[in-house]
Chains A and B, each alone.
Chain A
Amino acid sequence: MFVLETKDLTYTYGAGTPFQKTAVDHVSFGIEKGEFLGIIGHTGSGKSTLIQTLNGLLRPTSGSVLLKGKDIWAEPKKIRSVRFQVGMVFQYPEHQLFEETVLKDICFGPGNMGLGTEESEARARQAAKFVGLDEDLLNQSPFELSGGQKRRAAIAGVIAMDPDVLILDEPTAGLDPQGRDRLLEQISQYHKVRGSTVVLVSHSMEDIARYADRVLVMNKGKAVMLDTTERVFARGRELEGMGLRVPQITSILLYLQEKGYPVHPVLTVDEAVEELRPLLKKGRVRHGS
């Protein structure tokens, strides 16, 4: 069974006004429990609207969102509990830090769920560990942290609610390559250790290629592809037509494939080295360099 599923989901902004715009157009897809799903699509493709319907921040114009098989809007008064089960990390989440200490800030979500101080703090400390935030930072003001640390603290605040599904919207925007790799590595660890479901929305095809099991491609409000990451990126030329790219390494192998060489469009440099090695001529070793 899918942990989260949409059926014929449609969301229209300004319905009934001259500015009416359908941002999500009859989208049906399911997220498997425990999977790492990537969502890609260019600006305006509807992916942000889509994820906001997934935890009940937006109510579908038509169609439904099912959490563990149950329509999240069946009882609108209980929509708050959906937001605890589907945790959302927005872009630039560090702008939302506000408490006196980092620990209190991370405790805010669990506290809202009605957990006691002790339980909240235990969860906060564990969440901080997942995102690689040092224990001794927890008693500092969030505003004394570096940009990368603030980002981690904000993500820890969502993880501390122990959601079934963690949705991250561009979590690495503005981080440098080193910070980006470290953060994604920690999210990947969290995914593996907790066995929870992770949805990553990103413009970075390299990041999606490295971490996602499957990829959902949004274009003009519609879900146009949903498949394993390898198979989605193998359709590189179609993606380019939608204003998307494939990782540079995949593009190189796609070119070689188009030229008739027997290679697969793999996703990482490591895989490309393995892919190419058996095809390269031996004995063509460069000397004196």
Chain B
Amino acid sequence: MDYLTCDQVKFSYETGENGESREVLHGVSLGIRKGEFVALLGHNGSGKSTLAKHFNAMLLPSSGKVYVDGLDTMDESLKIEIRRRVGLVLQNPDNQLIASVVEEDVAFGPENLGIAPPEIRRRVDDALKAVEMYDYRLNAPYKLSGGQKQRVAIAGIIAMQPDCIVLDEPTAMLDPRGRTEVLDTIHKLNREKGITIVLITHYMDEAVGADRVVVMDDGKILTQGTPREVFSQVQLLKDHQLDVPQATELVWRLRSEGYDLPDCVLDIGECVDALEPLLKSSSGDSYVCP
């Protein structure tokens, strides 16, 4: 069974005083397996953040159902349980850190759960080690770089021992190095701890590393599949003003001019491998899709 289930989820925001509302999710059905790494794409206003906030009962569907590990998010008495299972990381690291010492910040969540101090100590240390911030445990958060702050925010969630982490554009404010740090951390947690990841991002190269890519458009799922399946639909994505990785776009453009190129290229390495056999001075064989 799926770990996260959305069944015909509709959601409306109230817009006016006289009960007017605007529907932003038009019946979304989606299942996410335990341990899966899902990237959620779509431009602003596509409903992707709204959908993600349903995964830990921050928002409740206007109609339809959301289940987390079989728990119905509409059941108020299960809210704490659901939030312990699914943690949320937001875009701006400065809005998420509250304590003046890194390890106190990480301890905030487990303290709220009423966990015994020795256990909190253990969890905080483990969480900081998992994001490779243990050496900074006694530092002041404001002195850290953006990527380090974001990893501390992630550690604060790991200390609650969640099954799933939802990250809403966690790298939007970071420099290239910070982005790599956070991305590597997320992948490691997914791989080594089996934590289910839902990553909302505008960066196509971040989505390439996911097990599955779900593209939202206008409150509905436009398309979904493996990164290779999704990014091979270049025309569809372009029609909806979405980007594809530059490597994918280059090969697609040359391919549409008639050159013998595959439709499966996702990253720099694959692009170079696909182009090389076609270059005049080389004698290599045609590229075969992985």
Contacts and interface: CB of A to CB of B under 8 A. Distances in A.
Interface of A: 42-44, 147-148, 173-179, 203, 205-206, 243-245, 247-249, 251-252, 255-256, 259-261, 269, 272-273, 276-277, 279-281, 284-286, 289
A280 B177 contact: no
B91 to A, nearest CB: 6
Given A43-B175, A176-B44, A284-B259, A249 B250 contact: yes
4 closest Cβ contacts across the A-B interface?
Answer: A243-B177, A176-B43, A284-B260, A248-B246
B271 A252 contact: yes
A111 B40 CA distance: 45
B249 interface: yes
B268 A255 contact: yes
A49 to B, nearest CB: 15
Contacts of B268: 248, 251-252, 255
Interface of B: 43-44, 91, 145-147, 169, 172-178, 202, 205, 241-243, 245-247, 249-250, 253-255, 257-261, 263, 268, 271-272, 275-276, 278-282
6 contacts: A252-B268, A259-B276, A277-B254, A280-B279, A281-B279, A286-B259
A89 B272 CA distance: 39
B118 to A, nearest CB: 35
Contacts of B254: 273, 276-277, 280
Contacts of B282: 261
Contacts of A174: 91, 169, 172-173
B278 A43 contact: no
Contact of B272 (A42, A256, A269): A256
Contacts of A42: 175-178
B44 A175 contact: yes
Contacts of A173: 172-173
Among B175, B250, B255, max chain A CB count under 10 A is at B175
B202 A43 contact: no
Contact of A285 (B176, B177, B260): B260
A279 B175 contact: no
Given A148-B44, A174-B91, A203 B174 contact: yes
Nearest to B91: A174
A245 B179 CA distance: 11
